[in-house]
Amino acid sequence: MSGSDLLFMPASQAAALIRKRKLSSVDYVEAVLAAIDRAQPKLNCFVTVMRDEALRDARLADEAVANGEAIGPLHGVPVHIKDLIDVKGVKTTHGSAIYADNIASKDDILTTRLRQAGAVIVAKTTTPEFGVKGMTDGPSFGITRNPWNLGRTAGGSSGGAAAAVAAGLAPLGLGTDGAGSIRGPAACCGLVGLKATLGAVPADTSRDAFGNNVYAGPLSRTVTDAAIMHAVLTGPSPRDPWSQTGEDRRALSPTLVSGDLSAIRIGYVERTANPRVSADVLKNTKACLDAWDAMGADIEEVTDAIDWIEMDGRILYQANFAVFCAQFLPRWQNQMDPVTLAFMERGAKFSVADFRNAQFARTALFRQIQTLFERYDFLVMPTNTRSALPVEFDAANDEVEVDGVKSGITRLGWNSYQYPFNLTGHPALALPSGFASDGLPTSVQIVGKWGAETDVLRLGGLLEQARPWTHLKPPAL
């Protein structure tokens, strides 16, 4: 098997080969580490590479197979973890100089679950400071670049994970998503990215457990890999109240068992809070809809007047950072990301009434989306309005250009399709939809009913079969 074949092999296939003793985890991890050495100077997608620990765990994985021990679904497979999530004995910097020397004292529950599934953790991936923006750069580590075009962003805030998976530097990355931070990077880098239902994957370290809008989930090249990793991560935790329902969230709807979608209703949302969407994205999104239509799905454009609460969402997001980060200003202000500081400044101007009204608006949006799901099984829309932005784009102040027209800041002009479902809690899956005229990937987003991740993944899997993308690779680095 060639080096490229190994690096771009799906995690599901690699795990099967390791289980059958046709692939050594050590050989696999060594190949990934060598590829990281080659790509990291250009992509800058890792904060820490756990070389010694990864090789140790890979040897143990091979020994477990040789000894006939019980093994998990990701046994011996290399994965990396975003630098907002703790790995014991390794730095969790949160993308900030403030935490440059912060060594985690224990594994996060999601790290633990990945280890229990047999995964070999090879690295921590970059994130903007506290995951604050939709691009991955910052004064403490520099710029993370897109492997499809080094002059473009990998998205954010899970841009390091997305760049790494797209470049073949492990088949799976664990990201987080507070306003699109898994789906946006997936869109930029031509990947699959899943934000699950609120509570399906526990968020043990959330500062506001009851008002949480931050989710963890997979970035992968295939829908199957995303589904496997999601299944590993799910389940209740005593520290997350939303995870306590005990509901089996993985049952597949009978209407999706085959490739016949004649019982499925899809609502197509062309725009949310964004004033426009690029012609390339529209063309590719409609090609995806055509693929589902050919399978029998009933597709209808959503014409309901939905208030997508862009300003209320902005209030909730920026006010949270203003309060949380205020403690750091006396000592660290000069070393913080200017975008963090700009969001804090804006957030500090909102009143308590503004914040409470925004919380009420969040509830109203949830109910509007629930009403749509009385008619539709899925909502489908673009993931971003256009392809990846230039790396020099100022996420705090610049306006996004869509087909040459200035269309507002990122929340309006670029990733407006993402944040609403952080607020409503519905599962949302980003999938490759094709390429724009600039050669960068575009993406389509599937939104499902609460708890319907398996249905969402199934619909995505059918698209993957109809419009294959896993054979496509970014230019050699």
> Could you give the residue numbers annotated as active site?
82, 157, 181
Residue 460 host element (H or E):
helix 453-466
**What values do phi and psi take at 178, rounded to 5?**
-100, -20
428-435 and 145-146 strand pairing? unpaired
Backbone φ and ψ of 27, nearest 5°: -60, -40
One-letter identity of residue 294 = A
Q: How far apart are CA 267 and CA 297, in angstroms?
A: 10
Residue 337 CA to residue 394 CA, distance in Å, equals: 11
Helix (H) or strand (E) holding 430: strand 428-435
Please, is 73 exposed, middle or buried when counting C-beta atoms within 10 Å of its C-beta (0-12, 13-18, 19+)?
middle
If you count DSSP H runs as helices and E runs as strands, how many of each does the chain have, helices first?
16, 17
Distances (CA, A) of 83 to 6, 245, 250, 264, 330: 26, 29, 28, 39, 24
Report d(CA 308, CA 82) in Å as an integer.
29
Please answer whether residues 114 and 148 qualify as being in contact, where contact means their C-beta atoms are separated by less than 8 angstroms: no
3-state secondary structure string, 258-285? CCCCCCCEEEECCCCCCCCCCHHHHHHH
* Distance between CA atoms of residues 201 and 216, nearest Å: 7
Residue corresponding to tokens 């990701």: 74
Buried b (16+ CB within 10 A) or exposed e, 381-404: bbbbbbbbbebebebbeebbbbee
Encoded amino acid at 360, one letter: F
Ramachandran sector of residue 418 (left: φ over 0; alpha: ψ -120 to 50; beta: rest): alpha
Among candidate residues 166, 224, 200, the one with its CA nearest the CA of residue 45: 166
Tokens 């790494």 belong to 164
Contact indicator for 282, 402 with CB cutoff of 8 Å: no
Largest Cα separation within the chain, whole Å, is: 62
